[in-house]
């Protein structure tokens, strides 16, 4: 005689807690924690770390990962033509540009007084490089920034005007902490 027992076993109950944890980390969009969990558990098993210290390290990795990913997105949205810093600038090549003045601009004090900055000079003297370095500093400090050429800005505004969305477009551009308009002249 054969007796069939019908048991309903849920998929989650069949999985180990480890696999459930991986699924939960995935569901919570904690991708870095999920990726680092196996190696982290191996490391913890070999050490005398407390549970709190272990979780602290794992969450720190996730936070660091998210900050880096966020920074990448912000940099992409800023549309810089390249990522050059002030320390990359050759002041010997352009002695008329004062390093101290540029370092002062990197303090971003001009934002507190709502001052505009205008770099004037011939092509190839480093105006874009200096503007980008200020923009990168803004982003490093959590401020929004957009780099756009004057031609592109005008074209976008003309298209917005034709669509009847000029006001929306102007609000968008005025919403940035710093708007860098290159190639004005």
For the chain, 185 residues long, give each residue's pLDDT as a single digit of tens: 454 444 444 444 546 888 888 999 999 999 999 999 988 888 888 988 888 998 999 999 999 999 999 999 999 999 999 999 999 999 998 888 999 999 999 999 999 998 889 888 888 889 999 999 999 999 999 899 999 999 999 999 999 999 999 999 999 999 999 999 998 86
Q: Determine the Cα–Cα distance for residues 116 and 154; give it in Å rounded to an integer.
A: 19
Last residue of a domain, one of 76, 96, 124: 76
92 with 178, same domain: the answer is yes
Distance of CA 52 to the CA centre of its chain: 29
8 Å CB contact between 161 and 127: no
Same domain (yes/no): 94, 132:
yes
For residue 40, what are the contacts with CB-CB under 8 A and spacing of at least 6? Answer: 54, 57, 58, 61
| 104 domain residue, yes or no | yes
Give the total number of structural domains in the chain: 2
94 shares a domain with 57: no
Identify the sign of the CA torsion 71, 74, 78, 80.
Answer: positive
* The last residue of a domain, from among 22, 42, 76: 76
Domain of residue 159: give its range: 86-182
Determine, yes or no, domain membership for 2: no
The pair of structure tokens assigned to 65 is 């990962």
């Amino acid at each position: 005689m054969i007796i069939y027992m019908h048991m309903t076993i849920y998929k989650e109950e069949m999985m180990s807690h480890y696999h459930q944890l991986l699924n939960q980390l995935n569901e919570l969009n904690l991708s870095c924690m999920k990726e680092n969990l196996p190696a982290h558990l191996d490391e913890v098993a070999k050490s005398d770390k407390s549970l709190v210290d272990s979780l602290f390290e794992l969450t720190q990795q996730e936070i660091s990962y998210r900050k880096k990913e966020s920074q990448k997105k912000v940099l992409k949205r800023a549309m810089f033509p390249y990522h050059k810093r002030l320390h990359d600038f050759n002041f010997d090549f352009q002695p008329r540009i004062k390093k101290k003045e540029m370092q002062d601009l990197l303090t971003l004090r001009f934002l507190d007084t709502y001052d505009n900055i205008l770099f004037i000079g011939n092509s190839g003297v480093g105006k874009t490089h200096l503007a980008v370095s200020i923009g990168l500093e803004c982003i490093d400090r959590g401020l929004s920034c957009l780099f756009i050429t004057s031609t592109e800005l005008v074209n976008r505004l003309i298209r917005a005007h034709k669509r009847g969305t000029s006001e929306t477009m102007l609000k968008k551009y005025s919403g940035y902490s710093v708007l860098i308009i290159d190639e004005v002249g």
